Copies of this chain bind each other. A is one copy, B any other.
Amino acid sequence: MSNPLVVDIHTHVYPPAYIEMLRARKKVPYIHDPSDGGPPRLIILASDDDSSIPVDERGRPVDSSYSDIKVKLDFMQKHGIDCSVISLANPWLDFVGEEQASEWAQKINDDLDSTCTQVNTTVSQTQSARLPRLFAFGTLPLGAPGPEAIADELHRIKTLRHMRGVIMGTTGRGHGLDDPGLDPVWKALEDTQLMLFLHPHYGLPDEAFGGPEVVRRYGHVLPLALGFPLETTIAVTRMYLSGVFDRFPKLQILLAHSGGTLPFLAGRIESCIAHERTFKVNGGTVQGPQRGIWDVLKTNIYLDAVVYGTAGMKAAVEASGGTTDRLLFGTDHPFFPPLSDEDEQWTSVVTNYKAINKTFEKDGDAVAGVLGGNAIRILNLK
């Protein structure tokens, strides 16, 4: 078998205009240029905006990998990635108020689509590419005055050549994803059949880990390793419990980091629902979800393969109904770069490649599907 096509569906950018917007801000999220001339610091997590840390050292250094598409293309080449579906990185436009939300969403979406056009045109003229190099997930004006503006942008995104879906965080319009006010957004997603890429940003409150001192003790490990996946799990569970998948059975949702922890906890969620006295089915007064969680996982949910090991991968496959058809390779670039400056492949990426190969070693079709075939088919990447 020839080398399978590799598609990265979890890879982020901050377009230059977005970077400049962050640079003009003084509260989270913002970019600060240190007085010693060192690399700019990106401060997007509330926990990094800590007055006990000198402002020149807060957050993480941000380099050209965040906004220069050439760096992304180099990264793709180095790691054997044929095609990337780029998306704005967190926190997207969550913090942009109603006056400017729609304008910024249009600007970012047009910018991303135009970047795809430029790169794909150049590549097709100079190289024998097996696939267009770039597609994109758009971003939504969640701060717009009403959900209709969000739905409008979804319909506009659908008309852009390289858009295949939208990325969204877990807060929706500020009240979580079980907010009935989001129904027009779910409706527009169904109507356009755009993929919703659900991604964490806010993690869990420090108190969940034992307070800010405990969190700081271990750097970013607790918020990133545990907080992020739980945030995703909570968000999609609230959607599910509130009946979103009953009302909008055609939603297509891609969950970051293999669903956070949803594949592992789906059974426990199902059991807790079956034993919940509040729910009507058990004699209570509250309408619980009508569809089973395993049905939703098999029908509405796709999982990326950014799970760093065979244990998570096996749960992801099993939760998808025992099929590898809903699992999609990703890198999380430009996050988790090597900590040294060595010119090697990124450990974070190699770990996920290895996990895929080891999990499906006896099944070349499965490997090819997870690495790229599934994404090409599901997102129509041509």
How many A residues, CB 8 Å from partner? 72
- A175, chain B: closest CB distance, angstroms: 8
| CA gap between A217 and B284 in the complex, in Å | 12
B308 and A315: CB pair below 8 A?
A: no
Q: Which of B178, B268, B307, B314 contacts A314 (CB 8 A)?
A: B314
Contact string, A202-239, partner B, CB cutoff 8 A, digits 1/0? 00110111100010011111101110011001100110
Given the interface contacts A318-B314, A339-B277, does A261 sit within 8 Å of B176 by beta carbon? Answer: no
- A212, chain B: closest CB distance, angstroms: 13
A308 and B271: CB pair below 8 A?
A: yes
Report the copy number of this chain in the oligomer. 2
Is A54 positioned at the interface, with any CB of B under 8 Å from its CB? no
Closest partner residue, chain B, to A237 (CB atom): B226
Q: Which of B208, B284, B309 contacts A219 (CB 8 A)?
A: B284
Is A169 positioned at the interface, with any CB of B under 8 Å from its CB? no
Closest partner residue, chain B, to A272 (CB atom): B225
B263 and A311: CB pair below 8 A?
A: yes
Closest partner residue, chain B, to A230 (CB atom): B230
B315 and A312: CB pair below 8 A?
A: yes
| CA gap between A20 and B86 in the complex, in Å | 61
Is A274 positioned at the interface, with any CB of B under 8 Å from its CB? yes
Q: Which residues of B contact A269 (CB under 8 A)?
A: 221, 225-226
Closest partner residue, chain B, to A258 (CB atom): B264
B310 and A318: CB pair below 8 A?
A: yes
29 CB-based A-B contacts, threshold 8 Å: A204-B208, A208-B208, A208-B234, A209-B234, A214-B238, A217-B241, A217-B286, A219-B276, A219-B286, A221-B272, A221-B273, A222-B241, A225-B273, A229-B264, A261-B265, A263-B311, A264-B311, A267-B307, A267-B355, A268-B307, A268-B312, A274-B347, A275-B337, A275-B339, A277-B339, A282-B339, A283-B339, A283-B340, A311-B316
